[in-house]
């Protein structure tokens, strides 16, 4: 009999959780916690007008409208009610025991409330797949990830219920509703037309030169944080507001070139995207910008020697059928400038040199190239040189460490033989005599 009474009280409490006519006895003690938690999550209190129901409806147990709403949803329908329900749900989560089932259910309901609020703010619409604005080329994203942040409004992009776009050039992300508010052109266009770095370290000019406004969106800023905090970009030296400067960290090219300093510094969003697009572009001519750097960084000298050797190996590969079929030069396809010159560097090259990665990988490629020329390929071996000064030793190649190359005729000699011999290069002398005989030949025939 006692079990039947408990079952009846349990059914009454769950079929009609909003019934205010229940007694204040044992029944209230058992169902009170469930009532208060559910009322808070739904954003309704016992004194709200929306809480009052007719006696007939309450008797039927239809206060929660179980037949029209799935379990776990909410009654709030406008933005104000949803905000109030979210705040009350947060308070309930803090009051409930940690890691309890009731707290987990409350967190799930809080997520539903926030999704509903975002849906009301940004209703789903049919949007075009491609949008072109200020040289940005935006593509509609199909990913449902919720970890993205809008670069314009600095709010979370809820991929489940919101439409959002990504620029294929600079990877600028924003809501569809923020597209028409964008004022900054695509950084990719600047990289294409003017691919160069700011080589002065944090060239600050002061807030007064910016009229105390953000350098990008022109919002009022100040160092005191009123009306908005001024944040300096270490790359440009300019000041930005919190919406345009998220305290992102990036390596500053000027600090690397002048100080060999690779510590990341705070930069604006625009500078971060520009540096990300420029990081692999070979635009730094170190021997002109800071030639003394090679005296203090030994790794740079080693890399320069490897690059010079690879340039000397290149003529062998482009005239060798086996090397072309094996596509040996594609070993450097990620650093194409290494087979074009030995002067230009990208910021990524310098980062890899400092970390020790580039020296290891380039040494392996150098060894592979030298093995093909000196051991594997007979055609390349036949293009070697014999020292004409001592006429002894093995076949020499211009990239060997113990050789020297004539700057005029590119003949290869032993280094000791070349510097010990004070006479002219034998090959240069031979070529000079041949040219003289060619010029003398026609003149002798004319006299005859």
The whole-number pLDDT of residue 47 equals 43
- Identify the weakest region by mean pLDDT among 63-72, 82-91, 233-242, 366-375: 63-72
Distances (CA, A) of 231 to 18, 71, 172, 402: 52, 47, 20, 55
Whether 311 has a pLDDT exceeding 90, the answer reads yes
- Residue range 188-279 forms a domain whose CATH class is alpha beta
Structural contact between residues 253 and 347, judged by C-beta atoms closer than 8 angstroms? yes
* pLDDT value of position 81: 81
pLDDT band at 49 (very low <50, low <70, confident <90, very high): very low
- Taken in order 298, 303, 306, 307, is the CA torsion positive or negative? negative
Check residue 65 and give its pLDDT: 41
Is-contact 268 245, C-beta < 8 A? yes
Domain definitions of the chain by residue range: 130-187, 188-279, 291-373, 384-435
Answer whether 0.85 is exceeded by the pTM.
Answer: no
Question: For residue range 221-240, what is the model confidence (pLDDT) as tens digits?
Answer: 988 877 788 999 999 999 99
CA distance 366 to 78: 68
Q: In CATH, what class is 130-187?
A: alpha beta
Q: What is the mean pLDDT of residues 398-425?
A: 80
Task: With a cut of 50, say whether residue 52 has pLDDT above it.
Answer: no
pLDDT of 249 reads 95
Cα of 385 vs its chain's centroid, Å: 48
**Which stretch of 83-97, 131-145, 290-304 has the lowest confidence by average pLDDT?**
131-145
Task: Assess whether pLDDT exceeds 80 at residue 256.
Answer: yes
């Amino acid at each position: 009999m006692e079990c039947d009474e408990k079952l009846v009280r349990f059914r009454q409490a769950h079929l009609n959780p909003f019934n205010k006519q229940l007694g204040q006895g044992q029944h209230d003690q058992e169902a009170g916690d469930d009532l208060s938690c559910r009322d808070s999550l739904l954003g309704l209190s016992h004194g709200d007008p929306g809480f009052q129901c007719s006696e007939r409806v309450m008797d039927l147990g239809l206060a929660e409208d179980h037949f029209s709403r799935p379990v776990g949803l909410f009654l709030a329908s406008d933005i104000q009610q949803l905000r109030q329900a979210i705040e009350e749900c947060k308070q309930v989560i803090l009051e409930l025991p940690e890691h309890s089932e009731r707290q987990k259910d409350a967190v799930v309901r809080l997520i539903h409330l926030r999704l509903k609020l975002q849906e009301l703010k940004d209703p789903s619409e049919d949007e075009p797949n491609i949008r072109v604005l200020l040289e940005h080329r935006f593509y509609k994203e199909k990913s449902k990830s919720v970890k993205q942040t809008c670069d314009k409004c600095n709010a979370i992009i809820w991929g489940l219920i919101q439409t959002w776009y990504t620029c294929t050039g600079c990877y600028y992300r924003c809501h569809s509703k923020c597209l028409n508010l964008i004022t900054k052109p695509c950084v990719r266009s600047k990289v294409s037309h003017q691919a160069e770095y700011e080589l002065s370290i944090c060239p600050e000019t002061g807030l007064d030169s910016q009229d105390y406004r953000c350098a990008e969106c022109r919002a009022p800023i100040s160092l005191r944080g009123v009306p908005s905090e001024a944040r300096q970009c270490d790359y440009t030296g300019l000041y930005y507001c919190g919406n345009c400067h998220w305290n992102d960290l990036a390596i500053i090219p000027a600090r690397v070139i002048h100080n060999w300093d690779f510590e990341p510094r705070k930069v604006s969003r625009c500078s971060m995207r520009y540096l990300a697009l420029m990081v692999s572009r070979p635009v730094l001519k170190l021997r002109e910008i800071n030639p003394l750097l090679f005296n203090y960084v030994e790794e740079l000298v080693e890399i320069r020697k490897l690059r010079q050797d690879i340039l000397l190996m290149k003529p062998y590969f482009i005239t060798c059928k086996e090397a072309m079929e094996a596509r040996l030069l594609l070993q450097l396809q990620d650093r194409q400038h290494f087979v074009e010159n030995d002067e230009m560097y990208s910021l990524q090259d310098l980062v890899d040199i400092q970390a020790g990665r580039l020296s290891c990988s380039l040494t392996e490629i150098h060894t592979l190239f030298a093995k093909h020329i000196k051991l594997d390929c007979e055609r390349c071996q036949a293009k070697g040189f014999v020292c004409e000064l001592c006429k002894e030793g093995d076949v020499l190649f211009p990239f060997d460490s113990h050789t020297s190359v004539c700057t005029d005729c590119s003949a290869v000699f032993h280094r000791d033989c070349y510097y010990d011999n004070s006479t002219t290069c034998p090959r240069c002398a031979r070529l000079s005599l041949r040219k003289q005989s060619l010029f003398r030949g026609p003149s002798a025939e004319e006299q005859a």
